[in-house]
Structure 1
Amino acid sequence: MTSVPFRLIGDLRMDRVMPAWAEQFPPYDTVVGYSDLGYAFLLSSRTGEYGIFDPYSPGVKDYGVFTEVTEFVSQVLFDPNVITYVLQPGHVAEIRRRLGPLDPDEVYIATPYPFLGGSESPDSYQKGGVWVFFDLVAQAHEQDS
């Protein structure tokens, strides 16, 4: 694999790029990045707390306060458990071999979504826009309820 399976995007307001989720996770108001598989990296600009949002579950795991995003990256995103369960570089590499690299603002999307019975096997993925993905997953959760 030639790249890490995530990207940092600067600080984007959550209510603008992920409006369907912003009210559900009020402590977090900023999106600082996302993984190739669609996990979002969130920040509370008020407290400095960082979390990782799993859109399929859905939920946010809080990882505590960091003064810089680089600390969050080195201490959280390079943690072996996060690499194994969130970033999944081997799985992403298999998907990338099949679909090719992602363009900016794209993620690999399991179809159907895992909570709707999808297998998450490498051949079940397609590419899609990250912000549309978050919106569509939120809509699917509402239908699933």
Structure 2
Amino acid sequence: MNAEQQVLQAARTLVEAFASNDTEGYFAAFSTDATFVFHTTTLPLIGRAAYRALWDDWQRDGFRVLACASSNPVVSLQGELAIFIHDVATRLQVGGEVVESLERETIVFRQQQEQGRWLACHEHLSAMPEQLPTT
């Protein structure tokens, strides 16, 4: 499997864990020093632990991922880094209400030297501009 295929597989694993609300599997796809920028939070989250703490709060408040589908994947290899861009259609339960969203996401993966495994080290999620047609 070449590097691009490895990154695509790492992204699929991450999205599948998120889609199935598999907390442990989802967070295992990120390095401990990962950073996160979400249009739904006021500040960036620095470190996997910061995001995990917020996730756990959300879960206690009734947050659940019901479905997530990735489309239009693009991979750009940059040495030991890979930039993965895709569109994300998500269905969530938030406080007893079902919410659907269409977003665009960039995930930066870094190849781990000791295992050769690709882990996400940065995630940036943006709302899909409403004036654009879905792709």
Superposed pair shares fold, TM > 0.5: no
**TM-score computed with the length of structure 2 as normaliser:** 0.32
Structure of greater relative contact order (alpha carbons < 8 Å, 6+ residues apart)? 2
Which structure features the higher share of strand residues? 2
